[in-house]
Amino acid sequence: MPGANLTRVEAEERKSIVQYPIHYSVDLDLTQGDTTFVSTSTIQFGAKAGESTFLDLIADEVTSVTLNGESVEPGEVFADDRIALNNLRERNEVVVTAVCRYSTTGEGLHRSVDPSDGNVYLYSQFEVPDARRVYAVFDQPDLKAVFRFSVLAPCSWIVTSNMPVERTEDTDQMTLDGTLGTKPAEHAKRWTFAPTPTMSSYLTAICAGPYAEWHTTYQNEDGRTIPMAQYCRQALKDDFAKDVDYLFDITKKGFAFYAKTWGVPYPYAKYDQIYVPEYNAGAMENIGMVTIRDSYVFSSKVTDALAERRVVTVLHELAHMWFGDYVTMKWWNDLWLNESFAEFTSTLATAEATEWKDAWATFCSGEKSWALNQDQLSTTHPIVAPINDLNDTYVNFDGITYAKGASVLKQLVAYVGRSEFFEGINHYLYRHAYSNATLNDLLTELEGTSGRDLKTWSAQWLEQAGINTIATDLHTAQDGTISELTLHQFAPTDHPVLREHRLAVGFYNEDEESGKVVRTDRIELDVDGEATTVTEAAGKPRPQFLLTNDDDLTYTKLRFDDESLAFATANLYRFDDALARAVIWLALWDMTRDGELAASDFIGTTLKLLSTETESTTFRYALACLSTTVWHYTDRTKRAAIAQHTAQALLDLAKQAPAGSDMQFQLISAYLTYGVEGDSAFADTVRGLLSGSLVLEGLELDNNFRWSLVRALSSINAIDEADIQQELERKDTTENREFALAARAARATAEAKAWAWNEAIHDEVLTNAQLESVAGGFASTPSQELAEPYVKEYFDSAEWIWNHKTFHMAEALLEGLYPRYADPATLVELGDKWLASHADADNALRRLISANVESSHRTKMVADFNASLNDDIDE
């Protein structure tokens, strides 16, 4: 793994030596050109006298080190991204000056140049341990400190940090060539920020550049007036201005909801949200200054699913101000204390405090499906994961930590009661304010308010990996009433733990007046052990459909009784409740990918669902899973015909959809991914949409949709590179350069794939966002012939990529370049050989490779299952 690692043992040893209080003064000079900047850190800290420890720092050069007033030769103490601190005193001061490098990977201090106007933008991203790329630091979460930042930058820029600006000072210093891109040099200004409250280093932040800005205030529940700001690139300001008031309003609703729910007002001095380019994550919860990827600035039409996701993201990062920032985990094994809580509470806030009332259906279709996928891999892990070093941490920002953790918290609320749960959270936040906490600290507070024994609950839900299955066993008397209803719980052999569930069983029947399928009864109960009899169901009329886990209270796989399954596959589109549809659809998808439901049944059910579904995220994920089923799970001998049938069905549905609707937009966008070389009808349709000769009323030919059309034509070789370049020259922007790279890489030629492979791995100029675009285009062509040559190449290159790229770039390559359209038998054979021969490889690397190989095992198994059925898709 590239870069310095830090083990848990090393962190514990350093924590035992370094003592509070810890104070940092960090001075950054951002005027030194376009590749490097100067960083000076002054750190005052206590220690056990006579002991030695180290600072973390990734830098091109350390120019000076002074420890307790004595100069130390940098070459004697700086090695392997660490600065040795020897023979410490009870109170110490160390000053480190270094030359650090701007990043283009979204790690450390990222530098981006907007080609549309030449403006330069900087922003920091420090999670997990990347503050050390910007200043010398004890970079671990339990060595909290007070930070004061001072930044020298061009006078035309604005600079923001975690705290308000304390003062600014004009200087006579001039910027060096390259600092402002191609723009002329100018005088520099110094920004000095107020000292922070006690906080972890990974939550510190700096942004600088000529950002556009908007301001307002919030009257906090503790009586303080909180300054609020939003920022974005100048090139996006006109589009962003349309949404700023709405996003301020969403944030203020979040402030009020969280303060009321937890009984703890927002604790910090200000709250900025800055939308930044080429971000390698969704957003980051820096205290007082959240960074958010600027693809959330909508300049073209987006799905309602993405618009809702932006709201959830805004509220997720705001929730972190309490969970993760105000109270922080001691070590990364309790990362879930940050992410699971933020994911759960942001969904709760979205559902209860905004117009997105079906947010739990969104969560089920989107986040929960992510968790179910990852929890069935050999690489799954407990929510409270064993984290031995930083490399383990990187790969735990996953569906288990986020989505399963949030699902389990929803289960916990049902288990202990909502008021008891949030009363315990209030005690937890106040008891551990501005400090670090562990799982046991949380359970202690929740046990105190609920009276429940949560150690057993935790052992089942948080400390054991894997997912259970609950199957419905329903017996009916001659008069049509239920004679017995039993819920059977199963556990996978590799994770044989049966859990206690608080869940509901819903009775659904057709309403004759409306024709909708509606809930007519509901039973809530505790389920534990291998079998639970639902005594309250006996004697009730048997419903047309019985939904175990109604309202999605617990986290489990579901298997319906035969009559309910048949009813669901035929009538899912008629269910009136969005959350019920999402729960049922997710169960059908799970059965499909387990080889228990025919691909033809899933495709037919999904296409009918798409004719009426109104919940945008369920719609989006249904389309994604439909694509996976068509291209990977169907009988290989019938796949081309099935794909053509599905594409035509999507086009027909798009033409029938309401003009300008989310449904129309999602359907036509999905249709564009079904092109294959030689399909003249597809090419004619796409060309017609691009030229305007084919019009779908209400469908706008905006910038991003034009690029979707260009990429679709490129994927079937209906346009060449000159056409792609011509489209880019219409509007050369950061985003359009990424679209153009993806379109070039998507071309269905051996030459295009060779170019994309080489660019992704060896072009050091590509930013993280550009690399992801190239990799995505490379792997998107549904051609076994084009993918096959890269199976051996992929496994031969994996270790080199891991050793020569930063984590985020390596992850993007190893996930994005996997040739999943190759013969799964070949992928399985070579993948298993790689894993067997790399038993000693870094655990994080093995996890990435294992996840890909296991997906190929599943693809082969499910495709073989469907081939054995000899089914056809119903016309």
- Residue-wise pLDDT tens digits, 501-559: 999 999 999 999 999 999 999 999 999 999 999 999 999 999 999 999 999 999 999 99
- Residue 870: pLDDT over 90: no
Give pLDDT, residue 2: 37
Of 308, 317, 510, 738, the active-site residue reads 317
Q: Coil, strand or helix: which one is 575?
A: strand
Q: At what angle do helices 703-715 and 721-730 cross, to 10 degrees?
A: 180
Q: Which of 755, 691, 754 is CA-nearest to residue 718?
A: 691
The residues spanned by each domain of the chain are: 1-209, 327-461, 468-554+556-597, 748-875
- Residue 116: pLDDT over 80: yes
- Residue 677: pLDDT over 90: no
> 781-810 burial by CB neighbour count: b if 16+ within 10 A, else e?
bbbeebbeebbeebbebbeebbeebbbbbb
User: What letter does residue 178 receive in the DSSP assignment?
Assistant: B
Token pair listed for 803:
């050793």
Please state the pTM of the whole predicted model. Answer: 0.96
State residue 49 phi and psi, 5-degree precision. -60, 135
Ordered strands of the 53-56 beta sheet: 53-56, 82-85, 78-79
Give pLDDT, residue 871: 73
Whether the Cβ atoms of residue 431 and residue 449 lie closer than 8 Å to each other:
no
Give pLDDT, residue 386: 83
Whether the Cβ atoms of residue 452 and residue 415 lie closer than 8 Å to each other:
yes
Confidence of residue 385 (pLDDT cuts 50, 70, 90): confident
Q: Tell me the C-alpha distance between 253 and 369, whole Å.
A: 28
Q: Coil, strand or helix: which one is 85?
A: strand
Q: What is the DSSP string of 395-447?
A: TTSSTIIIIIHHHHHHHHHHHH-HHHHHHHHHHHHHHTTTEEE-HHHHHHHHH
Mean pLDDT of the chain: 95
Virtual torsion, Cα 8, 10, 11, 17, nearest 10 deg: 150
Give pLDDT, residue 391: 82
Q: Tell me the C-alpha distance between 388 and 766, whole Å.
A: 32
Whether the Cβ atoms of residue 178 and residue 200 lie closer than 8 Å to each other:
no
Q: Work out whether strand 91-101 and strand 61-67 pair parallel, antiparallel, or are unpaired.
A: antiparallel
Which whole-number Å values give the CA distances from 286 to 38, 321, 417, 820, in the listed order? 22, 8, 31, 36
Class in CATH terms, 1-209: mainly beta
Give pLDDT, residue 709: 97
317 part of the active site: yes
Residue indicated by tokens 């020569």: 804
Confidence of residue 26 (pLDDT cuts 50, 70, 90): very high
Whether the Cβ atoms of residue 503 and residue 555 lie closer than 8 Å to each other:
no
- Residue 872: pLDDT over 90: no
Largest CA distance in the chain: 94
Token pair listed for 847:
């996890």
- Residue 303: pLDDT over 70: yes
- Residue 3: pLDDT over 60: no
Whether the Cβ atoms of residue 151 and residue 26 lie closer than 8 Å to each other:
no
Burial label, 363 (beta-carbon count in 10 A; 0-12, 13-18, 19+): buried
Give pLDDT, residue 873: 66
Token pair listed for 720:
């060449």
Looking at domain 327-461, its CATH superfamily turns out to be Neutral Protease Domain 2 (1.10.390.10)
Q: Which of 122, 127, 149, 132 is CA-nearest to residue 83?
A: 132
Residue indicated by tokens 């030449």: 118
- Residue 1: pLDDT over 70: no
Averaged pLDDT, 576-604: 97
Virtual torsion, Cα 488, 489, 492, 493, nearest 10 deg: -80
Token pair listed for 859:
């693809």
Q: Coil, strand or helix: which one is 830?
A: helix
Virtual torsion, Cα 326, 330, 335, 340, nearest 10 deg: -40
Q: Work out whether strand 482-490 and strand 531-533 pair parallel, antiparallel, or are unpaired.
A: antiparallel
Element (H, E) at 315: helix 304-320
- Residue 706: pLDDT over 90: yes
Which whole-number Å values give the CA distances from 713 to 73, 78, 651, 709, in the listed order? 60, 53, 16, 6
Quick one: what percent of the chain has pLDDT higher than 70? 99
Averaged pLDDT, 248-258: 98
- Residue 875: pLDDT over 60: no
Which whole-number Å values give the CA distances from 778 to 478, 684, 710, 753, in the listed order? 59, 24, 15, 6
- Residue 821: pLDDT over 50: yes
Whether the Cβ atoms of residue 663 and residue 619 lie closer than 8 Å to each other:
yes
Strand partners of residue 508: 519, 545
Select the more confidently predicted residue: 385 or 21.
21
Confidence of residue 863 (pLDDT cuts 50, 70, 90): very high
Q: Which of 613, 660, 656 is CA-nearest to residue 301?
A: 660
- Residue 270: pLDDT over 50: yes
Close Cβ partners of 26 (under 8 Å, ≥ 6 residues apart): 39, 40, 41, 42, 134, 135, 147, 148, 149, 150
Residue indicated by tokens 């886990």: 549
Would you mind telling me the total number of residues written for the chain in this entry? 875
CA atoms within 13 A on the CB side of 549: 29
Quick one: what percent of the chain has pLDDT higher than 90? 93
The runs of H, that is alpha helices, within 335-402 are: 336-353, 359-363, 369-375, 390-394
